[in-house]
């Protein structure tokens, strides 16, 4: 088994041994459940989960930094990073393993929400279209994957979990605001650049059930860029 997979497995299991893992799962399920019950499960309404996915995407903002903040920051604070980087494991494998473990946990966070899909499936007539639902979950994974990569970078930059959380959260909020708002005071080329990296525009496309290859590539390559930066940040610890 590759070292990255070993690290990912340990990381994934560790979320279930810590209160923070269960709290994240419970809060995410509870909040999305309220929206599903109040907004989606309406007698006579259209069988669609568009409202659910819209809120689920916004909830990724606090959830992903809460998951990613401890990935490398806690290892550095507790000293376990020293034992990890002196094992026969490359820094790239450490970063990838940590990220994949967090991504697997994000899947676990989404699993309870499948109960809403099943519920809607059985109570609706006609039944909801499968395409937008699959696309919705895919968008949450792609979005969460990008956010987690940003969080992995923040966690590699500091040994303080709170700081890692705040760095990730405010960076993501700034990214969403800059790319989702029409900013008249910035030059045209900057507006075009913000539009090109707009996350909200892409999430809206997914919610319609449209899974564009370009959009998927945007999220995956964005995550890869932030992971590469996290790798660089981890390497730089040796030189600091």
Partner 1 sequence: MIKAAGIAKSFGRVRAVRGVSFTVEPGQVAGLLGPNGAGKSTTIRIITGCLPADEGTVQVAGFDTRRDSLDARRSLGYLPEAAPLYPEMSVVGFLRFRARLFGITPRDRVRAIGAAMERCRIEAVRSRRVGHLSRGYRQRVGLAAALLHDPPVLVLDEPTSALDPSQVVETRELIRDLGRTRTVLVSSHVLGEVERLCSRALIIAAGTLLADGTPGELVRRHGGPVRYVVEARDEGRKAEPALRAVMGVAAVREERAEGPWRRLAVEAGTDAPDLREPMAAALAGAGVPVRELSARHASLEDVFLRLLRAADPARENAA
Candidate residues 83, 123, 197, 224; the one interacting with partner 1 per rule CB under 8 A = 83
Which token pair is 98? 């940590």
Candidate residues 30, 46, 78, 232; the one interacting with partner 1 per rule CB under 8 A = 78
- Tell me: does residue 18 bind partner 1 (CB under 8 A): yes
- Tell me: does residue 14 bind partner 1 (CB under 8 A): yes
- Tell me: does residue 37 bind partner 1 (CB under 8 A): no
Candidate residues 55, 85, 134, 211; the one interacting with partner 1 per rule CB under 8 A = 85
Which token pair is 140? 């949450």
User: Could you give the CA distance from residue 239 to residue 104 in angstroms, rounded to a whole number?
Assistant: 31
Candidate residues 87, 181, 221, 236; the one interacting with partner 1 per rule CB under 8 A = 87
- Tell me: does residue 90 bind partner 1 (CB under 8 A): yes
- Tell me: does residue 213 bind partner 1 (CB under 8 A): no
CB of 94 to partner 1, least distance (A): 10
- Tell me: does residue 104 bind partner 1 (CB under 8 A): no
Candidate residues 6, 134, 211, 228; the one interacting with partner 1 per rule CB under 8 A = 6
Select 189 or 239, whichever has its Cβ closest to partner 1. 239
CB of 69 to partner 1, least distance (A): 16
Categorise residue 182: left if φ over 0, alpha if ψ from -120 to 50, beta otherwise: beta
CB of 138 to partner 1, least distance (A): 31
Candidate residues 44, 86, 118, 182; the one interacting with partner 1 per rule CB under 8 A = 86
CB of 182 to partner 1, least distance (A): 46
User: Could you give the CA distance from residue 99 to residue 91 in angstroms, rounded to a whole number?
Assistant: 12
Return the residues of window 109-128 that contact partner 1 according to CB under 8 A. none
> Which residues have a Cβ under 8 Å from the Cβ of 86 and sit 6 or more positions away?
none
> Which residues have a Cβ under 8 Å from the Cβ of 136 and sit 6 or more positions away?
49, 50, 52, 53, 56, 206, 207, 209
User: Could you give the CA distance from residue 80 to residue 87 in angstroms, rounded to a whole number?
Assistant: 11
For partner 1, the binding residues (CB under 8 A) are 1, 3, 6-7, 10, 14, 17-18, 78-80, 82-90, 238-239
């Amino acid at each position: 088994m590759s070292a990255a997979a070993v690290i990912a497995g340990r990381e994934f299991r560790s979320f279930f041994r810590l209160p923070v893992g269960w709290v994240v799962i419970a809060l995410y399920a509870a909040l999305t459940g309220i929206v599903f019950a109040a907004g989606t499960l309406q007698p006579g309404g259209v069988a669609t989960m568009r409202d659910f996915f819209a809120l689920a995407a916004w909830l990724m903002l606090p959830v992903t930094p809460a998951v990613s903040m401890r990935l490398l920051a806690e290892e550095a604070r507790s000293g376990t990073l020293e034992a990890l980087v002196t094992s026969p494991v490359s820094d790239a494998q450490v970063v990838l393993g940590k990220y994949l473990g967090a991504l697997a946990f994000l899947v676990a966070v989404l699993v309870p929400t499948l109960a809403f899909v099943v519920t809607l499936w059985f109570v609706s007539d006609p039944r909801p279209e499968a395409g937008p639902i699959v696309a919705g979950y895919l968008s949450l994974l792609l979005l969460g994957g990008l956010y987690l990569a940003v969080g992995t970078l923040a966690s590699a930059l500091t040994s303080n979990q709170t700081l890692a959380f705040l760095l990730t959260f405010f960076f993501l909020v700034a990214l969403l605001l800059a790319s989702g708002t029409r900013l008249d005071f910035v030059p045209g080329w900057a507006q075009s650049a913000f539009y090109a990296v707009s996350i909200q525009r892409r999430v809206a496309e997914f919610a319609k059930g449209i899974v564009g290859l370009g959009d998927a590539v945007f999220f995956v390559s964005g995550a890869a860029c932030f992971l590469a930066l996290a790798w660089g940040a981890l390497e730089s610890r040796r030189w600091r």
